[in-house]
Chains A and B, each alone.
Chain A
Amino acid sequence: MNSFDYKKEITVDSAIKAVSADYKAMFLAGGTNIIDLWKYNLAHPEKLIDINDIAALSIIEQLDNDGIRLGALVKNAATAYDPLVEKHYPLLSKAILAGASAQIRNMATNGGNLLQRTRCYYFYDPDVPCSKRMPGSGCPAIKGRNRIHAVLGASEHCIAVFPSDMCVALAALEAVVNVVGPEGERNIPFSDFHRLPGHTPDLDNNLQQGEIVTSIDLPPGKFSKHYAYLKLRDRHSYAFALVSVAAAFEMEGSTISKARIALGGVAHKPWRVPEAEELLKGRKTTVENFALAADRILSGAIGRGDNDFKIPLAKRAIIRACEMALEPEMQIPGAGPSL
């Protein structure tokens, strides 16, 4: 029998202690991904530390700097519908509601969303090679069926994409991930949290064994007026993004004073190119300007056959998302691209 130890911890310190001492131990929060991976014979935890009852991680609070702190154990659905989030960070709300299903969003936690693993077909099949699953075994996707795979930042070892919608918005909003571990606390800028595959595709992020995500800070921002989350996928609900775009602006009159654009479904992490955002600064909201930014964001993109379409599609999606950001009230959360 596939036996394992299970223990509930109610403080961050005791949870860290339980996991940092044991390499085969894992935290259990919403369980929406780890249980799947386990059933598929892809994860083999010998000890599960249930952290769901750590009350300190289950709240959303306003910070002194006018930002918001999202507890790591707050459910995705509760986050999306939280009045503070809806008012100040509607982009995040929209992105969360574009992901998964209502049932999954009710179970999945914010911390867990950051730590979910790729849905690459080959990663999910224990009977085929995959360097993310078995380092060094190779990547069958590169010459295989790679319609869903990465066009940016991939390596010869892995072309998987990171599947989250929520994280695309968090990247655009320049969130900070607060973690605590045996060595103390760290505050990781969102762009440094997830990794590109490089030579170590088995590592999705920079979290160390025993470290726990405690919260995610959203800095004070003014992206609540001009924002859009556009998700393109093979069906209108309950499918991972082939390309998604989080776009947000701060405007001075009809001029862009600050722009944020992040892509999902195209890389091993949410894809942001700050130089492209700089390009838009002081410019008007024209298709030409959005296209300029899109070209900059997509420079260096490489198609692998089935996924070649993602490059032109991403460009169109960026332009559309930027246009949508100017009229956010037209957007329908979760549904197809807004009119």
Chain B
Amino acid sequence: MENKPLIGQPVSRLEGLEKVTGSARYAADYHVSDLLYGYVINSTITKGKILSIDVSAVLALEGVVKIFTHENRPSLAWFDLQYADMDAPPGTVFKPLSDNIIRYNGQPVALIVAEDFETARYASTLLKVVYKEEPFDTVLSQNLDKARAPKKGMSTPLKPPPPEPAGNFDKAFGKADFKTEATYHHGTEHHNPLELFATTAIYEGDGKLTIYDKTQGTINNQFYIANVFGLKYKNVRVLAPYVGGAFGSGLRPQHQLFLCVLASLELKRNVRVTLERKQMFSFGHRPQTIQSLRFSADSSGMLTAMNHCAAGETSSYEDYNEILSSWSHKLYPAANTLFEYKLVPLDLATPIDMRAPGGVTAMHAIECIMDELAYKLDMDPLDFRLKNYSEIDPSTKKPFTSKELKQCYEKGAEKFGWHLRNPKPASTKKGNRLVGWGMATGIWDAYQFPARAAAVLTKDSRLEVHNAATDIGTGTLTVMTQIAADEFGISADDVSFFYGDSKKPFSMFQGGSAITASTGTAIIAAIRELKKKIIKKIKEMPDSPFEKIPEHQIVFRNNSVSVQNRPDICIGFQDLIRANNGREFKVTKLAGPDVLKLRKYSKAAHSASFVEVEVDKDLGTITVTRAVTAVAAGKIINPKTAKSQILGSMIWGISKALHEETLIDPNLGKYINANLGEYHIPSHADIPEMEVIFAQEDDTLINELGVKGVGEIGMTAIPAAVANAVFHATGKRINDLPIHFDKLI
């Protein structure tokens, strides 16, 4: 039977049945014997010191095994570097229970371990912690005087500072005929994946642990635990076979992992620590940002000057960076540019990457000011973008490996019916509602990280591929299976992808929309190596019909090895194993980006979103009634899982524009809507039918597969498209997100 190519096919999620029937097990689902339960105690003050902790009532409670605090924490690794995970920003990593200093509200200050969860949680109400409070600052807008340049560190190459100034911005902006300036405020957001952060640590004796953890990087957490607790790498195994969403929150080891392992090692018992929903607000988040932009254009509509100054929140101990003020110059050419990015340390937990970190925040500002400038020029917003379309990356003057943004504009506009738009704001009415159409551009990087994969042709003639990467719900398992099956010419039913396990070959972490490029390329490389090994074996077989056949004519297809145009020469995988004396074939191979080649190019995924809103003319209530996103992200391995990624991103974009915000009380220094009742994400009633279009983008340069990743790109254009649609409906520019409807009355 002919194996059909799977790449490009809308293959349904292979683990779908397990997920919808509940048999898929997440980190807190491993019900091992003799399990203890930990409950985290969080600081109730924002800044200061713990003066004393009275644990007597807790320890007197039946079922409580132990309470860990800074007072009885065993001595652990000394150096900051040992706590630094692969995603650690510059600064001093937070070390749970290391001292009595409180750095942010909700900081973990103790772990109560009990025979059952309910006892541990109840015991938490009996703990008495006495604090000495100090004044604190938690609001970005009130502390802009403290803004300073970010420190540099390990993560700087991934998040480089904005491009150097070019030309003379002040002069060009000063004399420009068409110019506009605006400031954009974004509040805090928390990832809130459905699955709560949890760790189950299984104590295997002799300093050996098997850990089920909610993470986006099994090896990252393995290294962290081994370094911090002084364990051998091979004795720490971190598994995350299923991850119920993470969106960046799992890029760094979270404190429940540390606390769970601490308790397990100290008590020599199996321990689970699960955070509650409220505690999901006690670590990383999307930071508060304030962005001021000034753009100008000449009368033909060409941009002449761009200035983007961004300030972001960070903690008092680490410099969390994101890329904010670099994006406009990657899209639009302007001779005079000035970009700034500063940080303001506040008494909050260190922010952490959250879906399209920086990108979605910056593109909201950039694409709103572009819309505003288009109106000043009396140009159609889409025409204005096309006028300033750049085939090369203006910030580096390098060509892109591929850029089909124009196709996104065209296909998206056509699907949406953009040409029917009356540019006049508040010109279209529908009963009590004003109808508005807005569009915006999206951009995201196209990362590839080094990864190693193993490929095995097993004794029962199946293909196994191994890599430590997780599948955080994006469809990684399915996509990797498709890639492996096609590359080896084997049916997908005969492929097993082993992943989500630190024992597997190296993978960095699943972030930045990089996993398909990273792990996928490693799988290709490993399978090619495996094929070489097999070909060598075939040629060495006695009386081999392959002996004289040039290697490039030997093909792997339909679960066999054969020769092009020679149907008579063919050996099935089963016979191959037999010829290998029943032994498997196995290889591992490391693959990374072709740095030398890629140095000459810029790389990015692009998108264009078109949104229709209806705004009540008296009440201001906003309803998104249509949304179209066209994406150019290289080859789409699986249009079904990729479309789901884009749809999820679009919903999140609408959420960012209209709903989502963690509220901080400036007097208390804490988040006050830390639950999913008051932290608003869209309901079904808020989301319209949406359309996703994938542009044809053939990229032969970016990586072996020609893929760019689709995890974040679908979100980056939406908030600006919504805000621009609201402007078109009402004539009002609301530059602070989320846009609450009352701002329109």
Q: Give the B-binding residues of A (Cβ under 8 A).
A: 1-2, 41, 119, 121-122, 124-125, 127-128, 140, 143-145, 147, 232, 234-239, 242, 309-310, 312-313, 316-317, 319-320, 334-337, 339
Residues of chain B contacted by A143 (CB below 8 angstroms): 667
Residue of A nearest to B618 (CB): A316
- Docked Cα-Cα span, A124 to B665, in Å, equals 14
Q: From residue B131, how far is it (CB to closest CB) to chain A in Å?
A: 11
Q: From residue B661, how far is it (CB to closest CB) to chain A in Å?
A: 9
Which of A235, A242, A319 has the most chain B CB atoms closer than 10 A to its own CB?
A235
Binds A, one of B362-370, B669-677, B703-711: B669-677
Give the residue of A140, A145, A234, A336 whose beta carbon is less than 8 angstroms from that of B680. Answer: A234
Is there an interface contact between A1 and B118, defined as CB atoms closer than 8 Å? yes
- Docked Cα-Cα span, A182 to B219, in Å, equals 65
Is there an interface contact between A335 and B685, defined as CB atoms closer than 8 Å? yes
Give the residue of B121, B122, B619, B659 whose beta carbon is less than 8 angstroms from that of A232. Answer: B619
Is there an interface contact between A339 and B433, defined as CB atoms closer than 8 Å? yes
Q: From residue A213, how far is it (CB to closest CB) to chain B in Å?
A: 24
Residue of B nearest to A101 (CB): B683
Residues of chain B contacted by A334 (CB below 8 angstroms): 685
Which of B616, B665, B674, B745 has the most chain A CB atoms closer than 10 A to its own CB?
B665
In the complex, the 8 A-B pairs of residues with the closest C-beta atoms, listed nearest first: A236-B685, A339-B431, A309-B742, A237-B683, A121-B672, A127-B44, A237-B685, A2-B122
Q: Is B623 an interface residue (CB 8 A)?
A: yes
Is there an interface contact between A317 and B619, defined as CB atoms closer than 8 Å? yes
Is there an interface contact between B745 and A239, defined as CB atoms closer than 8 Å? no
Residues of chain A contacted by B621 (CB below 8 angstroms): 232, 336-337
Residues of chain A contacted by B742 (CB below 8 angstroms): 242, 309-310, 313
Is there an interface contact between B680 and A339, defined as CB atoms closer than 8 Å? no
Q: From residue A193, how far is it (CB to closest CB) to chain B in Å?
A: 25
Is there an interface contact between A316 and B118, defined as CB atoms closer than 8 Å? no
- Docked Cα-Cα span, A235 to B678, in Å, equals 11
Q: Is B566 an interface residue (CB 8 A)?
A: no
- Docked Cα-Cα span, A232 to B616, in Å, equals 11
A128 with B685, Cβ < 8 A, contacts A319-B618, A320-B619 known: no
Is there an interface contact between B672 and A234, defined as CB atoms closer than 8 Å? no
Total A-B contacts with CB atoms under 8 angstroms apart: 98
Give the residue of A41, A121, A309, A337 whose beta carbon is less than 8 angstroms from that of B125. Answer: A41
Q: Is B684 an interface residue (CB 8 A)?
A: yes
Is there an interface contact between A1 and B667, defined as CB atoms closer than 8 Å? no
Q: From residue B134, how far is it (CB to closest CB) to chain A in Å?
A: 17
Give residues of chain B (651-673) contacting chain A, Cβ–Cβ below 8 Å.
Answer: 658-659, 663-668, 670, 672-673
Give the residue of A128, A234, A235, A312 whose beta carbon is less than 8 angstroms from that of B745. Answer: A312
> DSSP class of A's interface residues: helix, strand, loop or mixed?
loop
Is there an interface contact between A140 and B431, defined as CB atoms closer than 8 Å? no
Is there an interface contact between A140 and B668, defined as CB atoms closer than 8 Å? yes
Residues of chain B contacted by A119 (CB below 8 angstroms): 677-678
Give the residue of A1, A234, A320 whose beta carbon is less than 8 angstroms from that of B659. Answer: A234
Residues of chain A contacted by B619 (CB below 8 angstroms): 232, 313, 316-317, 320, 337
* Extra A-B contacts (17), CB below 8 Å, given A144-B668, A144-B672, A242-B742: A1-B63, A1-B118, A121-B672, A128-B665, A145-B663, A145-B672, A239-B683, A316-B745, A317-B619, A319-B618, A334-B685, A336-B616, A337-B616, A337-B621, A339-B431, A339-B432, A339-B433
Give the residue of A237, A310, A317 whose beta carbon is less than 8 angstroms from that of B684. Answer: A237
Which of B623, B666, B678 has the most chain A CB atoms closer than 10 A to its own CB?
B678
Q: Is B317 an interface residue (CB 8 A)?
A: no
Residue of A nearest to B661 (CB): A234
Residue of A nearest to B672 (CB): A121
- Docked Cα-Cα span, A339 to B625, in Å, equals 14
Q: Is B686 an interface residue (CB 8 A)?
A: yes
Q: Is B582 an interface residue (CB 8 A)?
A: no
> 11 pairs across A/B with beta carbons < 8 Å?
A1-B61, A1-B118, A1-B119, A128-B665, A145-B663, A235-B683, A235-B686, A236-B623, A237-B684, A316-B618, A339-B432
Q: From residue A145, how far is it (CB to closest CB) to chain B in Å?
A: 5
Is there an interface contact between B680 and A239, defined as CB atoms closer than 8 Å? yes
Interface string of B677-699 (1 = CB under 8 A from A): 11010111110000000000000
- Docked Cα-Cα span, A239 to B738, in Å, equals 16
Q: Is B740 an interface residue (CB 8 A)?
A: yes
Residue of B nearest to A129 (CB): B668
Is there an interface contact between B686 and A236, defined as CB atoms closer than 8 Å? yes
Is there an interface contact between B432 and A235, defined as CB atoms closer than 8 Å? no
- Docked Cα-Cα span, A128 to B664, in Å, equals 13
- Docked Cα-Cα span, A251 to B433, in Å, equals 28
Residues of chain B contacted by A124 (CB below 8 angstroms): 675
Residues of chain B contacted by A2 (CB below 8 angstroms): 118, 121-122
Q: From residue B39, how far is it (CB to closest CB) to chain A in Å?
A: 12
- Docked Cα-Cα span, A115 to B63, in Å, equals 35
- Docked Cα-Cα span, A145 to B743, in Å, equals 16
- Docked Cα-Cα span, A329 to B670, in Å, equals 45
Residues of chain A contacted by B682 (CB below 8 angstroms): 235
- Docked Cα-Cα span, A58 to B167, in Å, equals 78
Q: Is B430 an interface residue (CB 8 A)?
A: yes
- Docked Cα-Cα span, A160 to B603, in Å, equals 52
Residues of chain B contacted by A232 (CB below 8 angstroms): 619, 621, 741
- Docked Cα-Cα span, A265 to B663, in Å, equals 19
Q: From residue A309, how far is it (CB to closest CB) to chain B in Å?
A: 4
Residues of chain A contacted by B620 (CB below 8 angstroms): 313
Residue of B nearest to A148 (CB): B678
Is there an interface contact between A309 and B433, defined as CB atoms closer than 8 Å? no
Is there an interface contact between B118 and A235, defined as CB atoms closer than 8 Å? no
